[in-house]
Structure 1
Amino acid sequence: MSGTAAVEFALVFPVVFLMLYGLISFGAILYTQLAVSRAVSDGARAAGLLLPPAEEESRDYERVKTEVIESLANSAIVPPASNRSFALRRAWLESHVRARIAVQEAPCAATVAGTCATITLSFPYGNDDGTRLMPAINIPGIGGTESWLPNALVSAAIVRL
């Protein structure tokens, strides 16, 4: 009977560890995706409030991109070193995410008249960027988690202008 507990622990621990790792990993991905979706929605609201441009001019979407950045800065999705204050989060997002925000203007669908804007964000979510909460691991017999964890989280919103 001596050592039975150690053998049971050795058999149960890997399963419990993988379940815990999976829960934390997917929870972090869902939280980040929710923050990205909310930020794009906030950007779409800001685009809807833009004044129509004068003739022969195009809309300036910098305010929309700034709104997306500020919305993202209100959440804790940046690397830990840049997550100490709003200003540090905003600075990291300006340098790593602003270029990944796209705003495209096009005619709305056939059922809706007017012009629509599509705001799209591809948020970097990888070990290289430092935004992934849990590092990728290699599970013997199964493979690495890198193959099923995304490298970017994408969200888009459409607004009628």
Structure 2
Amino acid sequence: MTPAATRRACLQRQPIRTRRAGVQRGATAVEFALVFPLFFMILYAIITFSLILVAQQNLTMAAEEGARAALNWQSNTSLQTALTNRGNAACAAAKLVAAKLVQSAQCTPSSSTCGPGGAMQCVNVLLTYNYQANPIVPILPLLGIVVPKSLSSTATVQLNPENIQ
């Protein structure tokens, strides 16, 4: 082939490439528009459930610290008063430990007999957080199905009745 024939062949092929490029010009934008919402939902779900896990861990830590605080002696006049005062001190300590994520957590102390033969007293600390009313991040419509309505954690400490009063 002569150089002129080669040049003509190249010029004849070039418009075909240009036409194909023109047809494909908006395909990337359309593909991105179709795939982006899926990737965004996945990323948002990962962030949401990570923060829920952090809040649950914070509730667990606060309940455990509250239970440890129930071991401290409180002024009292009877066994029941001592258990009530220790439960209230446990809730006060638990609320101090709770981070800003779960600041509105509700604490419920309770006491009961426990141990072998019911010879011991237990103080229970229950922390609950209404996640539906106070979400950490706004809940997207499809995530509302799988996001928990509330988070809770409980911790128990066993006390010897001889050492309570």
Q: What is the TM-score when the length of structure 1 is the normalising length?
A: 0.72
Q: What percentage of aligned pairs have identical amino acids?
A: 28
Q: Give the number of the structure whose residues are more often helix, by fraction.
A: 2
The letter for the 2-side match of 1:145 is L
2:5 is aligned with 1:2? no
Cross-structure match for 1:146: 144
Secondary structure at the counterpart of residue 154 of structure 2: strand
Any residues of structure 2 matched to 1:3-22 within 5 Å, and which?
Answer: 3-22=26-45
Instruction: Provide structure 2 residue ranges, at least 5 long, that are not aligned to the other structure.
Output: 1-23, 160-165
Cα distance between partner residues in 1 of 2:89 and 2:116: 28
The letter for the 2-side match of 1:158 is T
2:37 is aligned with 1:34? no
Q: What is the TM-score when the length of structure 2 is the normalising length?
A: 0.71
2:73 is aligned with 1:67? no
Pick one of 52, 59, 76 that aligns with 2:100: 76
Check conservation: 2:45, 2:143, Cα contact below 8 A: no
Shift in Å, 1:133: 2.5
Cα distance between partner residues in 1 of 2:116 and 2:49: 38
Cα distance between partner residues in 1 of 2:156 and 2:68: 9
Cα distance between partner residues in 2 of 1:41 and 1:56: 23
Cα distance between partner residues in 1 of 2:65 and 2:79: 27
Cα distance between partner residues in 1 of 2:37 and 2:66: 43
Pick one of 122, 126, 136 that aligns with 1:120: 126
Shift in Å, 1:66: 1.1
The letter for the 2-side match of 1:50 is W
Instruction: Provide structure 1 residue ranges, at least 5 long, that are not aligned to the other structure.
Output: 79-92, 139-143
Cross-structure match for 2:140: 137
Over aligned residues, Cα RMSD in angstroms? 2.2
Cα distance between partner residues in 1 of 2:138 and 2:107: 26
